[in-house]
Every structure is written in C-alpha cells, then in structure tokens.
Structure 1
Amino acid sequence: MGPVTVARLDARFAALKSQGRAGLVTFVTAGDPDPATSQAILDGLPAAGADVIELGMPFTDPMADGPAIQAASLRALKAGQTMVKTLAMVRAFRAKDADTPIVLMGYYNPIFSYGRERFLADAVEAGVDGLIVVDLPPEEDDELCLPALEAGLAFIRLATPTTDDKRLPKVLANTSGFVYYVSITGVTGTATPDPKRVAAAVGRIKAHTELPVAVGFGVKTAEQARELATASDAVVVGSALVGAVANSLDSAGKATDTTADDVHTLVRSLAEGIHSAPAGAAA
C-alpha cells in the first residue's frame, strides 16, 4: 500500500490545479475534546470543504504552537488520547473516505516513544499519507524523513520567512507532498499574514521546487483565506478550528451538541472564501 499514500496527496493537488483553485488544508487535534467528538469532527471535514486534513498528534510540550493548539493537545491527552487511538481514528476515517489525504502533524517525541518502525508500518496500514514533524530539521533526515519516504509516506517540510535562498534547497531536498509555508514568524495562531509578502515568498519557493505550496499560520476568516488562496496552492487553517472546538465546550470543558457542527460551519465558510478567490498560484 506504501506508494499509494503519496499518490493520494499528488492526486488531490493535481485535481485542484485542474479546477484552477487553491485547496483548503484543515488542522484539528486528534482526540480533542474527546475521542468520539474528535472522530465526528474528522469524519465531517471533507463534506464541509476540507481538501487535505492535518491531524495533530497530541504532545505535552508543543513548543511551536500557540495557546489554542497547546490547549487542544492538553484536552486530548486529558481525555486519554494515545498514538494507538490517533491511528485508529485514521483507520475509521479511511473506512468511509478513500480519497482525502491525511497528514499527521506534530513532534518527534510521541513517534519515538511509539517506536519508529512500528509507527511507520502502522501509519501506512491505517491510511496516513504524510508527516509533518516540526522539530526534526533536514540535518536529521536519517532519523525519520528517509525511512518515512521509503515506507511510502510523504514528508512535508516547513519553510518560513527566515528560510533564505541558501537554506531553501536543503529544506526542500527530501520534501514531498507539498511545502508548508509558515507565513509569519512566531507561534501558530497569533498574528495575521500579509498576502503580498506571502505571494512573493511563494514565488521564491516555487523557483526551487515543483511541489505545491500551502500557506498557513494566522488564517482565521474566509476573507483572509480568500486573499491567501490567490497567492498559493492551498491555505492551511488550524488555530481557528481548534478555537471553534474550545468555544463550543460547556463550563466543565466537555463537548456539547454543537461542537462538531461549529467546526464544520467554520470550515464551510473558509472553503467558500477560497472557492471565490481568483485563480492564483494554483492555476
């Protein structure tokens, strides 16, 4: 099944290109706020308009993430989320959806604790398409990136405003699936990206790679998503969706009847924003 996984990402971006539009990449934390609600959120994302799904692997110390995603990780861990349960979520999703790519995103520690070889085998078997591991630089590709590629998983790398032309080829060397451009410096969900700067940065990245470029960090509204869609192949939204989960919880911090619906409503709004954008880098 290995190579099929990268093909799923490639097929999705090729379809978006043929439609002349950018994609919507949605990030949610596995197990937040509880396993059943999290599964309902995940299962409903494609119908709401998600083209690619990033599923966060909860971790006790998510240093690159802002307060919203940190809180989501802690809620999930408190509700008993484990790597076994995260992979089971993907497996359950795959039973209903064979086409929407799923990328697991997070930190190396939970993967290392699970066991690298076991993790790669189980991730492929569950139907995972790729990995974003934010604390493994290109200098450590032997640790996970190369074994992941060998197993048939895309390894998606982050580029930032501080990634210069000298550094970029190293960042892109073993990247596959897409490049995730972090449009602002700092932690997730704490500032708003500038579309003009983003367009220039995406152009610079595209001078070095054929891969699609997805832009994220700081996108909260349909209008922001629309603006960034003209400058990229996909727009990533995470903190806003995790915030929708948090805002739906009751006073005890538990899910309510509206939790999954609130997330899906926001996804629909973001998707409409992207669909209304004039064709940009994706065309």
Structure 2
Amino acid sequence: MKNDNRPIGVFDSGLGGLTVLRSLKETFQNESFIYFGDTARLPYGTKSQETIIRYSKEICDFLNKNDVKLIIVACNTASALAVKFLKSYLNLPIINVIDPCVEFASKVTKNNYIGVIGTQATINSKAYNKKLDRINSSFKIISQECSLFVPLIEEGFIKHQITKDVCHFYLNKKIFQKIDVLIMGCTHYPILIDYIKQYFSDNTIIVDSAKTVAFHVEQLFDNNSVLRASQKTQNIKYYLSDKSIEFNKLAAVFLKTNSLDIDYIKL
C-alpha cells in the first residue's frame, strides 16, 4: 500500500483550531501537522468576505509551499466565506468544518429543530441554513450570533465572570427551547462548552466540529482520496502571524505538552 508522509495543514484565525488539531492529533497518531494561527489579524468573524478570502489565500499559499497533502480550514468563518474560492484555486483536497457538522446534525435530530451559534460573519452568511435546507427543507434552524466569544477566549477571559455573563446574554433565550441539536459553529466555542451546555437540556446533542472533521478525514483515508502516513513519530509545527501568550498557554493545556515548536511569520 502506498503512503504519503507529507503533513496535514490546519489553519484558523487564532487558537480555536486547536480544538480540531487535538482531535486529529489523537485520532491519527502517525500523521504530522502544520498549524497556522492568524493571531495578527483575528477575529475573522467581523471581517468582509473579500478580506477573509484574501487572508485564507495567503495562508493556503504558505501551507502549500510547505508541501502539505491536505488542508483543513479549521475556522467556520473562512469555511463559510472562502472555501468555494480555495477549492477552485488550489489543487489540493480541502476540508471545511461546516459540511461534517451539517451532515451529522441532519442525521441525529429527531424533531428537526437545529440550533446554530457562530460569529457574525458565519451567521450572516447563512451557510449552515443553506446546507441544512438542501438536505431537508423541513428543518427549523434557530441561529444566534455570539461574536464576543472569540475575543474573550483569545484575550484569556475563559473563566472570567464577564464570559459567563456574555454566555447568558446570548443563550438564555426561549427560541432555543425546542431544539434537540446545537451546532457550535465556531471552533473556538468548545473551549466554553461548560458554560454553553448549561443553557440546554441534557437531551440536546451538541455538535463539536473537531470530532466530525476527524471522522471526515478518516473517510478520505478509507477511500484513498488522501494517503495515510507510515511514519512512527508524529511531528507538529506551529506558525503564528503574531506572538500570543494565550495561544502558548492554551496550546500547552489543550495538547498536553509544554514543548511547542512555534515560529512567527508575516504573510
């Protein structure tokens, strides 16, 4: 069987994509990864589509120069606004974080009421609504933008009272009472899962893109769309567009390591 030991590229506006990387790292222990966090230009959720496409193109050019075999867009905003362009621009497999979540949510809902929380750009794009509607037009989609979540996480306010108050402001709403599935439409949001789940019943299935993306990558390996690596050691290289103390701290906790190989570059 042929193998491909080239790394998998993963990028996000900052540290939210670490939730995806952690799942990939644990699931595919023979694979190596290059992670790019665009910490100089976050958050993406308030930027225009033209800007998001430009940022995503620059990052993918960088990853392509580093000879990745697959690119995972671990950012919902870029997945919603830039992936169509990236797929036409690059001759590489591209995985976004929206399609795997939509597919999973559509299979597990029992009453057809699905909630979506995300950044302003993701919610305004109606990317989730459109994709779910194509699967089943009877789905009732309840959307809520939660734009303050990302800056609060990136600034290190994860356990601060202000973050709890912001969660209450966004999520303490009657419109969510009927949903039986909630899609966390931003890879940062699983970091706040302990707060988020307090506003939903125990029967509500909360969809985390990290797990659904790992399953999707497994499918690509199984059908040989992308070849598995055969190496015995896993290497992870990190690139950031600006220094970030919070990235270093959270990466160490999330990935259970104190040794991070990080370089800082300007695109």
Please, what TM-score do these two structures have when normalized by structure 1? 0.33
Please, what TM-score do these two structures have when normalized by structure 2? 0.35
